[in-house]
Amino acid sequence: MKTPHDFFKAITGIAMENGIRYLLFAGFAWLLAYVLFRRRWFHRKIIARLPTSADVRREMGYSLLTVLIYGIVGTLTIWMAKQGWTHMYGRIPKFGWGWFVASIFCIIILHDAYFYWTHRLMHHRRLYRWFHRVHHQSNNPSPWAAYSFGPLEATIQVGIFPLSVLVMPVHPLAFFIFLVWQIAFNVAGHTGFEFYPRWWLDTWFGRFMNTPTNHVMHHEYYRGNYGLYFNVWDRLMGTNHEKYEERFKEVTGRSRAA
């Protein structure tokens, strides 16, 4: 990236790569839940109504802005790596396959903590309007809400990329695998449908992992349920919505219409 033209090409390339991944995952979820199996699965719709077409158009529009911001920050992070300012590395044998796999889990754990605390901070009354209001316009989210952020929140969200490579050795492929995990979990949490079985919360793993019901309740009530992948920080900090488990069992206990 020696010239402004090179920098622009890099931004465009990273934004397109993020955009294609977002379109594939969100589009596939939309096709399944809102087109092919909408009637069959509707009893599992957490909020028992469909988002409006205006909501979906707004979510898609802000998502396009988000992938552009991801492209800018991603390009800046790669430039920092080329200057030797990060721990990003290019040859897997340098740290071995053990660390390659472990680093993916480390990024996921780091991102979960990063998301919880930045998310809570963005709910502060002096910050909410500037950072988080756009995302909460989707009070009945669709898969397209996964990247529906205002510009300031999008910048916060993509901050996990530079943060990860500044604090630990990360191979680009390991970070790509994390990105696939991130968008898959993010889209699933915004589909508006609960796909876990009713007994899920009675298991150790079910109490550890977040569910779509958990996140949709956050969109619905605006407070509580701040976590992303895991339900650990919400449990530790006492920020789970008081009716989360009750709502999960109500949604998963519904009978399918004939």
pLDDT digits (tens, 9 = 90+) for 69-94: 999 999 999 999 999 999 999 999 99
Task: Work out the number of other CB atoms within 10 angstroms of the CB of residue 56.
Answer: 20
**Can you tell me the mean pLDDT for 109-133?**
97
Q: What is the DSSP string of the chain?
A: --SHHHHHHHHHHHHHHHHHHHHHHHHHHHIIIIIISHHHHGGGBSSSSPPPHHHHHHHHHHHHHHHHHHHHHHHHHHHHHHTT-S-B-S-GGGTHHHHHHHHHHHHHHHHHHHHHHHHHHHTSTTTHHHHTHHHHT-SS--GGGGG---HHHHHHHTTHHHHHHHHS-B-HHHHHHHHHHHHHHHHHHHSSB--S-TTGGGSHHHHHB--HHHHHHHHHHSSS---SSBSHHHHHHT-S-TTHHHHHHHHHTPPPP-
Q: What whole-number distance in Å separates Cα of residue 70 and Cα of residue 31? A: 25
Query: For 19-31, what is each residue's pLDDT tens digit?
Result: 999 999 999 999 9
**What integer pLDDT is reported at residue 181 of this predicted model?**
97
**What integer pLDDT is reported at residue 8 of this predicted model?**
84
Q: Which residue has the higher pLDDT, 8 or 3?
A: 8
Query: For 204-255, what is each residue's pLDDT tens digit?
Result: 999 999 999 999 999 999 889 999 999 999 999 999 999 999 999 999 999 8
- Is it the case that residue 257 has pLDDT exceeding 70? no
Q: What whole-number distance in Å separates Cα of residue 63 and Cα of residue 152? A: 13
- Is it the case that residue 118 has pLDDT exceeding 80? yes
Cβ atoms of 156 and 122 closer than 8 Å: yes
**What integer pLDDT is reported at residue 1 of this predicted model?**
60
Residue 45 dihedral angles phi and psi, to the nearest 5°: -70, 120
Residues 6+ apart with CB under 8 A from 39: 257
Q: Note the pTM of the prediction, 2 decimals.
A: 0.94
Q: What whole-number distance in Å separates Cα of residue 216 and Cα of residue 194? A: 9
- Model confidence at 4, in pLDDT bands (50, 70, 90)? confident
Give the total residue count for the chain: 258
- Is it the case that residue 160 has pLDDT exceeding 90? yes
Residue 83 dihedral angles phi and psi, to the nearest 5°: -85, -5
**What integer pLDDT is reported at residue 255 of this predicted model?**
86
